[in-house]
Every structure is written in C-alpha cells, then in structure tokens.
Structure 1
Amino acid sequence: MDVFVYGTLTEPDRVAEVLDSYVYVGPATLSGLHLVEGRYPTLVPGGETGGRLLRTEEMDALDEYEGVDAGLYRRVAVPLDAPEGHPDEAAVYVGDPDRLGADATWPGGDGSERDGSVGDRAGDDSGFADRVDRYLEREAVRVRLTPGDPV
C-alpha cells in the first residue's frame, strides 16, 4: 500500500526502526490538509503539505507506530494522482488535534457546521473520526506524486 508520510516517517532511519520492508516511491504533496505541530505533527483542513510517498505492506506496524488503537491517529484513504501503474489511493494518517495538543480544530466539532446528519444535532459534539470523514467527503483532498523530483 502507498502511504503519504509527512513527519518522522520521512526519515529513513526512523522508518527502518518501524518497518522491515518498504520503499520510498517519491516526493509527494497532499492538497486539502496542512501540517500543524503538537506533541506530534498532524494535519488539519486547508492548504497543502509536502512529504513522501512510502510503499509497504506492513500496515499493522504503521498503525501501531501511529497509535491508531489508542485514538491518536486514524488512517484514511485519499485519491492518489500518479502515473499509470500506481494505486488509485494513498493512506494518510490524521491525528486528533485534541489528543495531540495541537492548536487546531476540525469543522463540525463545535456546533459551527451542521449538515443534518445524526452527529450534527444541536448540542451533540460529533467525534473526531466523523468530522474527518465528512470533511474528506466534501473536499478535494488528494495526494499528488511528483516523480522526477529528488526523494
């Protein structure tokens, strides 16, 4: 699977500590989400983020590293713009700003955005995962591989 990485996993030494088998496909840009710092870096709506496309089959190891079961990050799939022969989607790890101490919010968590879905009832603070999913459904978030650039 191809994974867009933007933080510590852009460093080969760190990836080698987490994965037994991987390859960097090339530099990539994530459109529709931008980087914010907290205890660990994460992504929030808007802008762009530069990073790398990493290919591995060891998704369980990445999920563990990213703290998916602990609720720190969640793995989402976004469209991948890349030459033929590449997958149609790339995985992206999005961290919960509240859990990571990042000064950022996702739309819909404070009652400011209502679309009529169950999680959007007045007084109902929908969960982080629901807010991310709704944003990804509405916005053109995607990863663009930029082959030919240095990795």
Structure 2
Amino acid sequence: MDVFVYGTLTDPKRVRTVLETDRSDTAAAFVGRATLEGLHRVDGRYPTLAPGGTIDGRLLAVDDAGLERLDRYESVESGLYVRVAVPQMSRSDDRRGDMAGGTIDERCWVYVGDPDRLGVDVTWPGDGPFHDRVDGFVSRADIAVRRPG
C-alpha cells in the first residue's frame, strides 16, 4: 500500500530509521514523486495539512508492518495525527486538475496532524472529533494524490 509523505518522511534516512528496514519483517520503498491536490502544507510544531491548494511529496510503498510503524511514528493512537485514505490517480492528457483529469488507480494513505496540538491556525469544516472532520472533508472534496506520467 502507498502512503503520501510530505514532511520528515520524505528523507530516506528517516524512513529507514522509523521503519527499521534492516529487519526482515518490514518492506518499504519510495515509488516516486506525487502531488496531493486539495490540501496544502502548514508548518507548526510539525508539518500538517489544511484544506485547499496542493503539495508536492513522495509516495512510499509499505507493508502492514511498515504502516503500523508509521502510525506509531505519527502518534495516531494518541491523536496527534490521523491517517485517512484518498484516491490515487494517474494523470491523463486532461490536466484540468479535477477528478475527471485522470483515472483512479487505488487509494493511498495520508497523515494529517491535529492543528490544535501542533499550534497552527487551521480550521477543518464540520462538527465532531478531528478525525471525523478530516475524513468527512476528504470524502466530499476533490482530494487526490496524482502521480506524474
């Protein structure tokens, strides 16, 4: 499965450390550059995402053990970050930037940090817990990871 990374996890050395790739039970590899459309980076205590815009990053392919390690690194259990699924698309010749501008290949994971805990001024629309607001926004908006080519 793929994970769109846009902060410290774009550094191969950091990824090797976090994923303990020297262990035989974890497999991970960068599979290329990508752009996340519909969200943009905001820097606070750690980088996070906010509605609107775009951000360039990388796709990291991991197995289940790797995803569990990423969840620990991003403190998903304590709610510092949430992990949400977004469509992953290949670009077509139609480059309008909307969902019609490519074909959905699969979904990939994206980590979004809680703005209150990271000290940034970001508002996610909706009511309820942070994870529900992010998940709701991502499921309703034209959010997608696009790979070049």
TM-score (norm 1): 0.81
The answer to whether structure 1 residue 53 and structure 2 residue 55 are counterparts is no
Matches within 5 A, 1:54-133: 54-57=60-63, 58-82=66-90, 88-108=106-126, 119=127, 126-133=128-135
Counterpart-to-counterpart distance in 1, 2:84 and 2:146: 16
- Runs of 4+, deviation exceeding 3 Å: none
In 2, are the aligned partners of 1:2 and 1:87 still within 8 Å (CA)? no
Q: Over aligned residue pairs, what C-alpha RMSD do you find? A: 1.5
Preserved contact between residue 18 and residue 65 of structure 1 (Cα < 8 Å): yes
**Corresponding residue pairs, total:** 129
Rounded Cα–Cα distance in structure 2 between residues aligned with 1:102 and 1:144: 26
Q: Which residue of 1 aligns with 2:36?
A: 30
Alignment partner of 2:124: what SS? coil
SS at match of 1:88: strand
Measure, in 2, the Cα distance between the counterparts of 1:41 and 1:136. 18
Give 1:82 deviation, angstroms. 3.0
Task: Please report how far the alpha carbon of residue 45 of structure 1 lies from its aligned counterpart in structure 2 after TM superposition.
Answer: 0.3
Of Structure 1 and Structure 2, the greater strand share is in 2
Which residue does 1:122 correspond to in 2?
none
Name the CA distance, whole Å, in 1 between partners of 2:46 and 2:142.
25
Q: CA deviation at 1:16?
A: 0.7
- Mapped to 2, the partners of 1:39 and 1:89 lie a distance apart of 28
Which blocks of at least 5 consecutive residues in structure 1 are unaligned?
Answer: 109-118, 120-125
- 1:14 aligns with 14
Output the amino acid matched with 1:99.
R
Q: Percent identity?
A: 57
Kindly state the Cα deviation for residue 32 of structure 1 after the two structures are TM-superposed.
0.5
2:141 is matched by which residue type in structure 1? E
Letter in 2 for 1:29: T
Q: CA deviation at 1:104?
A: 1.2
Structure-1 separation of matches of 2:125 and 2:143 = 15
Unpaired runs of at least 5, structure 2? 22-26, 92-103
TM-score relative to the length of structure 2: 0.82
